[in-house]
Structure 1
Amino acid sequence: MQTHLLSSTFSDAYGRKVILIAGWVIAIPVPFLLMWAPSWNWILLANLFLGISQGLTWSTTVIMKIDLAGSQNRGTAMGINEFAGYFAVGLAALATGWIATNYGLRPQPFYLGVVFVVAGLLLSVLVVKETKGHATQEATLSSQTLQILPSQKDIFWQTTWRNPNLSAISQAGLVNNLNDGMAWGLFPLVFATAGMSFTQIGTLAAIYPGVWGICQLFTGALSDRIGRKWLIVVGMWVQAVAIALIIIYNSFAWFMCAAILLGIGTAMVYPTLLAAIGDVVNPAWRASTVGVYRLWRDMGYAIGALLSGVIADVLVLSQ
C-alpha cells in the first residue's frame, strides 16, 4: 500500500515511464526466487519484491491511462484497465494450475512468470510512451487555478480530510475494499457454517469476482455518460443489500444472488472512484492524489481482513 503512494509521488516528480520500468525491473527476481526457494524466507522475500513491483506498475498504468483518456472517457479507461488486470490474474491462475497439475509445482509454473516479466519490461521500454506531458498540458487548460505544486504532506491531507470531494472518494474506496476483504475472509466461513459443500463455496467465491470483473467493462463507460456520483451511491447500496442477503438467508440460491449483487455493486464503484479522482484534482498533481487515494482504498483490505478475524472469533464461525 505504501508503494502506491511512493510510485504516484515519484510519477509527478520524475515521470510515469521511469517508474513503470523500475517496477518491472524489481519484478525480475520474483519467479527465480520462487523456483529455487530453499526456505520460507525466500518465499517471503519474493512476495516483498512482488508487492513493490505491483504497487509501482499497477499504480503507474492507472495514472497513465487517466492522463491519456481525458475527462470524457476516463471511466471507460478505468473500467477496461481494472477488467484487464483482474481477468489476467484469473487466466494466470488457471494456466499455472494446469501446468502444476500436469508438470509439477516447481519450477514449471513459474516459467510463465519469467515470460510475463520479460514481456512487461520490453513493452515498457520499447513501446510505452511518457504521459506526464499530457497531464501538464491538461493542467494549463484546466478551469482550476494552476498554483504552485503543493507539498506531498499537503496533498496527503487534502486527499484524506481537507478537500470534501477527495476525502469522500477516499472513504468510499476504503469501505468498498473493506467489503471486499470481508467477502474473501469471512463469507467462506459463513457459507461453510450454513452447510454449503466445498464445490458450492468455490462456486460462490468465483461468482463474485467474475461478475465484478466483467461488469467493469460496462460500469466504467456508464459513468462517463451519466456521471460518477449516483453510480457510486447506488453501487454502495447494492453492496449493502448483498451483504444483508447473506446475513438473512442460508440457502445456496440466495447466496448466489448475493454474490452476483456484490459483484455488480463493486463494479459500479471501483472504476468510477478512480475516474472521479481524476475529475476532481488538478492534473498537475493528479498522480500524487491517486496514490493517496489508493493507499486508503487498499487499506480497506487490511481492515476487512482484521474485522473478518475478529467477527469469526466472536461468532465462533470457525468451529
Structure 2
Amino acid sequence: MRGTPPGSDAAGGPGVVLGLRQNLAQFLLLVAVNALVGGTLGQERTVLPLLASQVFNVGLYSSALTYILAFGVAKAATNYLAGTLSDRFGRKPVLVAGWLIALPVPLLLIFGDSWGWIVAANVILGISQGLTWSTTVMMKMDLVGPERRGLAMGLNEAAGYLGVAGTALATGYIAAMHGLRPGPFLLGAAFIAVGLGLSVLAVRETHHHAAAEAATHRPRDARHAGLGSREVFILTSFRDRSLSAVSQAGMVNNLNDGLAWGLFPVFFFAGGLSVDKVGLLAAAYPAVWGAAQLVTGALSDRYGRKPLITGGMLVQAAALAMVAAGTGFETWLAAAVLLGIGTAMVYPTLLAAIGDVAHPSWRARSIGVYRLWRDSGFAAGALLSGIVADALGIPAAIAVVAGLTAASGVVVAVRMRGADHR
C-alpha cells in the first residue's frame, strides 16, 4: 500500500478484525459524525437560494447559482485529493483537517455583505465537505470489509442526508420566524463544533483495517493489484466498464441535485408557497433519500448494484419531469418523495460498486476519483440549469436535466457489468 501512515502496520497489525458487528461502536460513531457533516451542508439548502434573490438581489439564475458552482468545483477537487492524502497520512488527520477548515463558514454566511463573500464561503465549505465526507466513507469501508459494504454505505449516506434534511427543515422554520440571517447559520456553527470535537477525541484511525483486507484480497485482475494514482484515475474514469459507468452516473446524479438545491426553492417560492413550506419541500427530498438508503444499500448487497442504479436514475428522471409539469404543494411534495426514492436507490449503491471493483490498496484513491466526477456534477448542474433557466425558464431547465438523468441510466444498463458485488 502506498504511503503507510504513522502508527499502522502494512499488513494490518495484530488484532485487526473486519466486520460491521466487530467494529460496531466505532462504525456508529462515524455514522453520527457524518450526520453532522450533512447538517453542515444542510444549513444552506433552504436559505441561500432565498438570500440570493431577496437580500443580494442577484437577478440572473446563472449568477445566483455561482455558489453551487464554487462548492462543486472545490468539493470535487478535494475529493480527489482526500483519497491520496488518506492513503499517505491516514484517515483521521484528513477528517480533522476538514472540520478545522469549516470553522469560518458560518461567520462568512452571517456577516458577508456581498454575494462574493457567500461564494467564498462555499469554496471553503466544498473543501471541508470533500475531506470530511470522503473520509467517513473510506473509514466505514475499511471497518466492515467486503461482505456488508452496501449496508455500510446505506447507513453512511442515510446519516449524511438525514442530517441535510433535518437541518434544511429546521433552518426553513428559523428563517420564517427570525429572518434569513443569522439564526439558520448558528445551527451550522454548532454542528461544526461538535463534529470537530468528536473527530479529535473519539474517532480512531482505520487505515490498518484496509491494510488487513488488502493482505488477503484477490483482485479480479492480478494486473490491477498495485496501481499508481494516474493509473487509478484512468481506470476509474474511462477504462473499466463498471467504474466508468458508476462515475458518469454519480456526476449526473449530483447534476440534478445541484438543480434541486439551487432552483427548487426559487421555483416553489415563485409558485406561491411560503418560506416554511419551501423549507418543508427542500427537506422532504433529502429526508426520503436519507431514510430509504437504510434499505437500498442492503438491497444492493442481495440483488446487485446494476439494477438499483439503472432503475434509480430512471425514477429520478420521472420525478424531475413531475416537478417541471406540476403545480401546488401536494404535487411537488409527491415529486420530492419520488426523487428521494430514486436517489436513494443510486447513491449508496454507486459507492458500494466502487468498493467492489477497486483493490483495497488503491480503493481510497478510486473513491476519490469517483467523488471527483460525482461532485463536479454540482458545478455542471449549476452552469447548465442556470443558463437554460435564464433563456427558457426554470421548468425547461428541470426538463433538460430530467432527460440527461434518464440517458445516464441507459448508459449504466449498457456499460456496467452485472455481478461485481459478488
TM > 0.5:
yes
- Is 1:141 equivalent to 2:141 in the alignment? no
Decide which structure has greater helix share: 1
* Residue 70 of structure 1 pairs with residue 145 of structure 2: yes
Q: Is the 8 A contact 1:140 1:146 kept in 2?
A: no
- Indicate how the Cα distance of structure 1 residues 89 and 80 shifts in structure 2: closer, same or farther if over 3 A, else same: same
Residues 1:116 and 1:249: Cα distance change in structure 2 (over 3 Å): closer
Structure-1 separation of matches of 2:185 and 2:268: 33
Contact residue 182 and residue 305 of structure 1 kept, 8 A? yes
Q: 1:140 to 1:208 in 2, by over 3 A?
A: same
2:357 is aligned with 1:285: no
Q: What is the CA distance between 1:179 and its match in structure 2?
A: 2.4
Mapping of residues 78-227 of structure 1, within 5 Å: 78-96=153-171, 110-144=185-219, 145=222, 149-185=226-262, 196-199=271-274, 204-227=281-304
Give me the TM-score of the superposition, normalised by structure 1.
0.85
Structure 1, unaligned runs of 5 or more: none
Deviation at 1:71?
2.0
Equivalent of residue 26 in structure 1, options 80, 89, 101: 101
Task: State the shift of 1:3 in Å.
Answer: 0.8
User: Does the 8 Å contact 2:161/2:289 carry over to 1?
Assistant: no
Map 1:304-315 onto structure 2 (within 5 A): 304-315=381-392
Q: Please give the alpha-carbon distance, in whole angstroms, between the structure 2 residues aligned to 1:215 and 1:55.
A: 23
2:126 to 37, 44, 51: 51
Q: What is the letter of the counterpart of residue 279 of structure 1?
A: D
Provide, for residues 55-114 of structure 1, a one-character-per-residue CA deviation record: whole Å limited to 9, x for no partner. 111111111111112222211111111121122233334555666677777666555444
CA distances 1:134-154 after superposition (whole Å, capped 9, x unpaired): 111111111113867422222
Contact between 1:189 and 1:317, CA under 8 Å: does it hold in 2? no
How many angstroms apart in 2 are the aligned matches of 1:261 and 1:133? Answer: 40
Change (3 A) 1:261 1:149: same
Distance 1:4 1:282 in 2: 18
Distance 2:159 2:284 in 1: 17
Bigger mean CA deviation after superposition, 132-141 or 25-34? 25-34
Percent identity for Structure 1 against Structure 2: 58
Residue 227 of structure 1: CA displacement? 1.6
Q: Please name the residue that 2:82 is paired with.
A: 7
Could you give the per-residue CA deviations for residues 212-242 of structure 1, whole angstroms, max 9, x where no partner exists? 1221111112112222111111112222333
Structure 2 partner of 1:270: 347
CA distance 1:69–1:34, shift in 2 (3 Å) = same
Of residues 301-310 and 25-34 in structure 1, the stretch that sits farther from structure 2 once superposed is 25-34
Once residues 223 and 245 of structure 2 are traced to their aligned partners in structure 1, the CA distance between those partners, rounded to angstroms, is 23
Distance 1:111 1:132, change over 3 A: same
Of 16, 25, 38 in structure 1, the residue corresponding to residue 91 of structure 2 is: 16
Give 1:305 deviation, angstroms.
2.0
In structure 2, C-alpha distance between the alignment counterparts of 1:43 and 1:131, rounded to whole Å: 35
Distance in structure 2 (CA, Å) of the matches to 1:128 and 1:263: 30
Counterpart of 2:374 (choices 297, 301, 310) is 297
- Give distance in 2, aligned partners of 1:314 and 1:272: 35
Residues 113, 228 of structure 1: CA spacing in aligned structure 2 closer, same or farther, 3 A cutoff? Answer: same
How far apart are residue 209 of structure 1 and its match?
2.4
CA deviation after TM superposition for structure 1 residue 46, in Å: 3.7
**1:234 counterpart (311, 316, 340):** 311
Moved more, 117-126 or 271-280: 117-126
Greater CA drift, 199-208 or 220-229: 199-208
Q: Secondary structure of the residue that 1:284 maps to in structure 2?
A: coil
Question: Aligned letter for 1:10?
Answer: L
CA-to-aligned-CA distance 1:247-306 (integer Å, 9 cap, x gap): 566676554443322221111001110111111100111111101101111111221222
Structure 2 portions without partners, runs of 5+ = 1-75, 397-422
Contact 1:139 1:146 in 2 (8 A): no
- Change in 2 beyond 3 A, CA 1:235/1:316: closer
TM-score relative to the length of structure 2: 0.66
**Is the contact made by 2:165 and 2:283 (CA closer than 8 Å) also made in structure 1?**
no
Paired amino acid for 2:296? T
Count of aligned pairs between the two proteins: 317
Q: Distance in 2 between matches of 1:315 and 1:40?
A: 24
Residues 72 and 185 of structure 1: CA distance in aligned 2, closer, same or farther (over 3 Å): same
Structure 2 CA distance, aligned partners of 1:207 and 1:9? 35
Partner SS, residue 365 of structure 2: helix
**2:164–2:286 CA contact under 8 A, matched in 1:** no
- Separation of aligned partners in 2, 1:296 and 1:32: 29
AA paired with 1:77?
Answer: A
Equivalent pair of 1:208/1:262 in contact (CA under 8 Å): yes
C-alpha deviation, 1:5, in angstroms: 0.8
- Larger mean CA deviation between 31-40 and 86-95 belongs to 31-40
